[in-house]
Chain A
């Protein structure tokens, strides 16, 4: 059974995937879909209720919440995907190299990872943003610093596992160089596990950026971002409690979809590779 077949069998996984694709599409088409300018204040019309003109009402400055949600999706998802991609790059390459080369390179990398992993990720992220200052680029860098050791360590383990297989030994005997071995024999093996971890981490990056923006350390006003919108809504908790619903629900649903998709991929993969796959995640 291939990965795709296993995935398609789980209806909720398909729903999650479709939902994520839909949100991604909405984010890409935001300038055409948004009924209003997400930045234009209209204070005469603040805290408007849900209506045909303002589907999800307006915020404390009278800005259209639905439009802000769409533009916010661009920032939130774009940030999460970009950070995931960068973290993958930063983690996979050194991890694979260390796993294949072994020896001192591996020891050095693993000890560095141990040091970084000994801090809880949240503490590390807050410390880095505290030092660098507020802003989404800095939040991304902080996430990268906190999360790359996960990938490096995992990749190192997998690579070591496959480096001893007959296929790789044979390739060595055939005189193929390291790049060829990595590309042809190791990378395809780790692709599945990477995909699972990347899906799960995309969700956690969304949460991290939202939390940082909520605290005022991430995206700066007036740029719409889900966490920042939630933070703004919190200030009007008594005046208009419903304002927290759209950004809160958006974060909840997208992160839940990412997590569920990641879990399903994991299960599907496990079914495919049996105990081997399990060892990687336990």
Chain B
């Protein structure tokens, strides 16, 4: 019998060895493929541009805004030009005349109004975006002129009109009784792509929109392939089954995989400039973290440089303030709190939390035990959590880390039942205005973490006031005041400024990053042989 076992084992290992010898080069390496194969962990789902259920990158392929956000500022998109009244309340848009929706419908002021009315009929859902509350009414001036009236001046109006959702335009024929909130009939937009085929949870096929007014994409089709497992994506890329992986955070591509591919050198690996903030929320309503002294002490306890260099292989930059100084209005001089465990310990002693004989700190019989929740799908957050756990242990704070499903994680943000949780800003063009605006919404973890602060009413009022402030200098001063105060209160423990990552095969060219981390500029990509 033993001999049989050995024979079987030998055969087994021989087969494995043979399988490993297989050549890597396969189908997708053909010089100029007819479609770009892109792998994502998630399906595109319902890409109704006025709702939040779909993948943003797919929504952006089909639907366009009036104006777009670019690193150079606001640029025309579906509107050629615009005028703003002196009091900052009336915006008049002069629309392009050469635009058609992909179903042949004309794009004009009537189409804009129908879309805007459909969006405004669902105000509650868009409450995170302040502009929705500011819009008083809108009107068609003539066939290609559209006017928007605001209740009060609102400085980020154009930025928010250029955001990914909800102010993007779908053919009026797709609206159901003039509404979009309960679903739409088809996805006819004005963008460079059409959604030609969609097999739920398998793939989506995008082809070039023949009615697109601008320069047409050079790749005839993009196939969005759903692969829920990160490792399958990496292996498919290595095998040559897919051409491109693109995403921020640990969402599509884990750091270790990115690093392995970069070292192997068979693919091109790209990193965007720092784009969003990664921080921890320290809940001001929970025991222990409700004390400002404690929150400040914890800031000194985390070795961000080790996290960024060790865990993230220096693909992100360490953050000492919530917002990077390159973000508009955020170049505020703040006292930095770099890694200094001795100082952290001293601050905790001063806050009345002396270390006990077992090393754990206690005050009035209560131990310094806190919980950190992270999204279980995010392998990066887990590694960082484990590292911070060890950092906190050094100063006598016991951190329990708990990975949760995405939905449970969001519910917890809403309920505020956490001491520590991950917070990510939304990156350009949402930072800082939309991000700060969202602090006033109770469904966000930010609101919950700030809710215990004495200055919370002041904070909310000031954020509201900033958005209505028309004077640039005064607005700048108000931002500085809010950011300094939040830094002082230490509700945020900044970790790093994250970047978007892309890995692609060598014969794919033109891969670049949009200003927003959520957009993938497929239309700029093309295949070419040689370098």
Contact = CB atoms under 8 A, between A and B. Distances in A.
Contact of A221 (B234, B260, B382): B382
Given A216-B403, A238-B257, A221 B385 contact: yes
A239 B311 CA distance: 13
Interface stretch (B80-88, B145-153, B386-394): B386-394
Contact of A43 (B306, B382, B402): B306
B310 A62 contact: yes
Task: Classify the interface of chain B: helix, strand, loop or mixed.
Answer: helix
Contacts of A240: 256
A40 B386 CA distance: 10
Interface in A53-80: 60-62
Contacts of B387: 41, 43, 61
B261 A41 contact: no
A185 interface: no
B31 to A, nearest CB: 26
Interface stretch (A24-32, A186-194, A229-237): A229-237
B508 interface: no
Contact of B390 (A39, A216, A236, A238): A39
A161 interface: no
A193 B2 CA distance: 25
Interface in B330-349: none
Interface string A193-233: 00000000000000000000000100011100000000000
Task: Classify the interface of chain A: helix, strand, loop or mixed.
Answer: loop
Contact of B379 (A12, A46, A222, A235): A235
B15 interface: no
B179 interface: no
A222 B390 contact: yes
Interface in B231-260: 231, 234-235, 238, 254, 256-257, 259-260
Interface in A161-203: none
Given A237-B234, A238-B234, A220 B401 contact: yes
Interface string A235-250: 1111110000000000
Contacts of B386: 41, 61, 221-222
Given A12-B2, A43-B307, A43-B310, 20 more contacts: A40-B390, A41-B310, A41-B387, A41-B390, A43-B306, A43-B309, A44-B306, A134-B403, A220-B400, A220-B403, A221-B385, A221-B401, A222-B390, A235-B231, A235-B379, A236-B260, A237-B235, A238-B260, A238-B261, A239-B260
5 contacts: A39-B393, A41-B390, A134-B403, A221-B403, A238-B238
Interface of A: 12, 39-41, 43-44, 46, 60-62, 134, 216, 220-222, 234-240
